Amino acid sequence: MNNPSAAPVTDLLDAFRRTKVMFAAVALGVFDAFGDGPAAIPGLAERLDADPDALERLLDACVGLELLKKEGAKYSNLPVSDTYLRRASPQSLTGYILYSNYALYGLWGRLEDAVHEGTHRWTQVFRVEGPIFDHFFRTEDNKREFLRGMHGFGLMSSPPVVSAFDLSRFRHFVDLGGATGHLASAACEKYPQLQATVFDLSPAIEFTREFMAGSPLLERLKLTPGDFFRDPLPDGDLYALGRILHDWSEEKICKLLAKIYAKLPSGGGLLIAEKLLNEQKTGPLPALLQSLNMLVCTEGKERTVAEYAALLRAAGFAEVEGKMTGAAVDAVLAIKA
């Protein structure tokens, strides 16, 4: 009797090592160091305050992972790392990578305990109470770096989300918890009739101004500080929640959906951007992994279209449709009768 291939198991045994190589290289500033071109180990080790032999092993691993190129004694960035792994790149994902390294990596190390108890691991791992974001983003640099990383994801995922449905009937788009404004910007680019408001906490709005500085869309975008749980919502006929609902308990979600429904005019809509599970909850794999991520670090989880529809209809919405976008997040559109 032939045994099955062990490849699925052995690949997973190596998976965390590959991930940690990228995390460490980003944290050490390896890809930033090549922003001005190729460099060799001696100068790099001094610049990065690293042991030369250990740094060489790390860089060679990055070559093997197709993040760096090696020619003779010199290393340089490949286009993928130059675009996504340098802090100075407009498409940089380093903020989310650093957050994953410093926060999520430790939380995932307690996944077994999260499954036993059904709760996040923030207190267990970091010995602090309260929302995880309050503790991770202790400095302005932490906040800016994380938002820059989420902005990089948003530049890739927001255009497919706003293209998933025909939104041409709407006139004012209100992005609740809109962070750097990438979703509102994508909506305005796609639909020239739209005006938009980005509504987020005051510290986030200050960063939004930085990210939106010089954008030709600014004259159609209003930036408004506020807390969507506590403060009155801005007027609009299409609200959006991008990567918001998966953070929260069902009780908080129902409270927020009811508040949005009450504010919307008849025929108004709510656009939700989240990873969608299939109805059997057997995939897609990124959504399954993100749901476990929500388990270890928040109150929430990922859901199916049917589960979102049940929450939305309980709030009063009459029409609900979901679509897989093929991007990092999918789309659900709900309409008030």
Confidence band of 137 (pLDDT split at 50, 70, 90): low
Report yes or no: 114 and 121 within 8 Å, Cβ to Cβ.
Answer: yes
Report yes or no: 170 and 194 within 8 Å, Cβ to Cβ.
Answer: yes
Strand, helix or coil for residue 221: strand
**Which residues fall within 8 angstroms of residue 25, CB to CB, at 6 or more apart?**
31, 58, 59, 62, 67, 85
**Mean pLDDT lowest for which of 39-48, 165-174, 216-225, 247-256?**
216-225
Of 31, 14, 42, 115, the closest CA to residue 69 belongs to 31
Residue range 260-298, pLDDT digits in tens? 999 999 999 999 999 999 999 999 999 999 999 999 999
H-helix segments, 109-174:
111-117, 122-126, 132-136, 140-163
Strand, helix or coil for residue 283: coil
Of 163, 153, 333, the closest CA to residue 240 belongs to 333
Longest dimension (CA), the chain: 70
pLDDT number for residue 150:
82
The model carries a pTM of: 0.93
Residue range 153-187, pLDDT digits in tens? 888 999 999 999 999 999 999 999 999 899 999 99
Domains (ranges, CATH) in the chain?
7-84 (1.10.10.10), 157-335 (3.40.50.150)
Confidence band of 217 (pLDDT split at 50, 70, 90): confident
Residue 140 has pLDDT above 90, yes or no: no
Name the strand (E) or helix (H) holding 320. Answer: strand 319-323
Give the number of residues written for the chain.
337
Mode of pairing for the β-strands spanning 238-242 and 269-274: parallel
% of residues, the chain, pLDDT over 70: 97
Q: Is 246 known to be catalytic?
A: yes
- Crossing angle of helices 7-28 and 52-64, in 10° steps, is 130
**Which residues fall within 8 angstroms of residue 123, CB to CB, at 6 or more apart?**
129
Residue 143 has pLDDT above 80, yes or no: no
Q: How far are the Cα atoms of 44, 105, 109 from residue 119, in angstroms, in the given order?
A: 43, 17, 14
Of 115, 152, 96, the closest CA to residue 301 belongs to 115
- The one catalytic residue in 120, 151, 182, 246 is 246
Whole-number Å distance between alpha carbons of 297 and 152 = 21
Report yes or no: 200 and 177 within 8 Å, Cβ to Cβ.
Answer: yes
**Which residues fall within 8 angstroms of residue 44, CB to CB, at 6 or more apart?**
30, 33, 50, 55, 59, 75
% of residues, the chain, pLDDT over 90: 82
